[in-house]
Chains A and B, each alone.
Chain A
Amino acid sequence: MTFLFIIAGIMALFGVMGYRRGFWPMFLGLMVLLFAVLLVLRDADALLMYLNGIWMGTMLLFRGGISALSQGNLESARQTFSSIEKPFTGVTQPWAFLLVISAAAAVGLLIGLLIKSHASVWGLFVGLFYGYLLSVALLPVFLGIPLSLFSGIPGFGGNGIATAGTGQCQGLVNRFVCLVGQPGSGQMCGALIAISLAAFVIAIAVSSNRSRKRSGSGSRNGSGEQED
């Protein structure tokens, strides 16, 4: 029941957002999200392989493996490479899909900001569907509810991140506790919080900067400093 309320809340939120932003920005965001969902559904293994590959390549670069390769020191590069662990395996696999879908949602909504539109009822409907898709794609994964859109993919399905390995993860709070308590998941959760926080504050700061440019004037008293 709680799950249904959460879905309804998210749908309402995106419905209002869709109404205020208009049809096309929301529709564009929906297409990007749909693309990401289909990508995860159709070729999860390849996606995992690429994400792991990107991570391992980056870590190889930071740990000096590339310079070892360029100097012809293959053994050193191989040792460095073998010391790097794949980030998305086993229990942490769903985090990769979560990352892809969250990134697609963020990119879609940001691209939508570039399109000028006005309030529209069609935007409301698209927003509702957007909220529904996002909810059914992400929440079951987080909360371990057997309604997951990705139930066919190993690591997903009825045993989402929150429930794997334990039978005590009932209720929202307990699911959150289990999610953070899993080995490896706490670190991923921290990374996700850091990325989300950075993306949010940068997006807001950039958008407020853009609104200043649009208005053509500085802040209220001209200097940007405001007195409380």
Chain B
Amino acid sequence: MGPIEITFFVMMAIWALIGVIRGYNRELGITTMLLIALFVLVFTTGPMGHKFQAFLAFVAGPDPERQATLQALLFCGFLTVMVFISYQGQTLAFSGSGRNSFVSMVTGLVNGYLYAGSLWFYLACANWPLLNVRPPYNNLYYAISAILPPAIFRWPFLIGLAVLLLIIRIWK
């Protein structure tokens, strides 16, 4: 197992612990925010891809490597800010006691997967800028890369699920 995989699993474990401490009702709010953040990123690179590429070319110049680095840094920064906002201050919390430790842990794992997996995906797309990660990678690296959130979730799924969760949240 390489350093990236270990970091990924450690991050998921940390998020699982956070889930157990905070309770699943609060973690579901983070899940909703992460889904919305991911929707923004996937939509930006999908249907809005041409305009975003033009923006990258305008800021970073014609070099594709610099464009990829800028994209990775922008996306990872955006995700991190969204996660920080989600956890800090007034948070979007669902009702319920949140006392079920197992469910809270799994919800935390889901959040860890969404966040750490997305960071992995976008950093890997730019060949790990600012980090000393170089090929050859092992098979596990490639296997996990194939199931990272931005690789498997389409934008209609992300926004659909986020909207459904918000509807459930406000449903009386």
Contacts and interface: CB of A to CB of B under 8 A. Distances in A.
B92 interface: yes
A58 B75 CA distance: 35
Interface stretch (B49-57, B93-101, B124-132): B93-101
Contact of B89 (A191, A209, A227): A227
B8 interface: no
A198 B31 CA distance: 11
A202 B147 contact: no
B152 A193 contact: yes
Contacts of A181: 139, 142-143, 146
Interface residues of B, number: 39
B94 A205 contact: yes
Contact of B168 (A176, A189, A202): A202
Contact of A205 (B28, B97, B139): B28
B79 to A, nearest CB: 17
B107 interface: yes
Given A228-B26, A228-B87, 18 more contacts: A173-B1, A174-B139, A181-B142, A186-B146, A189-B147, A193-B147, A194-B153, A201-B28, A201-B31, A202-B161, A205-B94, A205-B169, A208-B25, A208-B98, A211-B96, A224-B169, A225-B93, A226-B93
Interface of B: 1, 22, 24-26, 28, 31, 87-98, 103, 106-107, 110, 139-140, 142-143, 146-147, 151-153, 157, 161, 164-165, 168-169, 171
Query: What are the 8 closest A-B residue pairs judged by CB atoms, nearest first?
Result: A208-B96, A190-B152, A212-B95, A180-B143, A226-B93, A177-B143, A205-B168, A177-B139
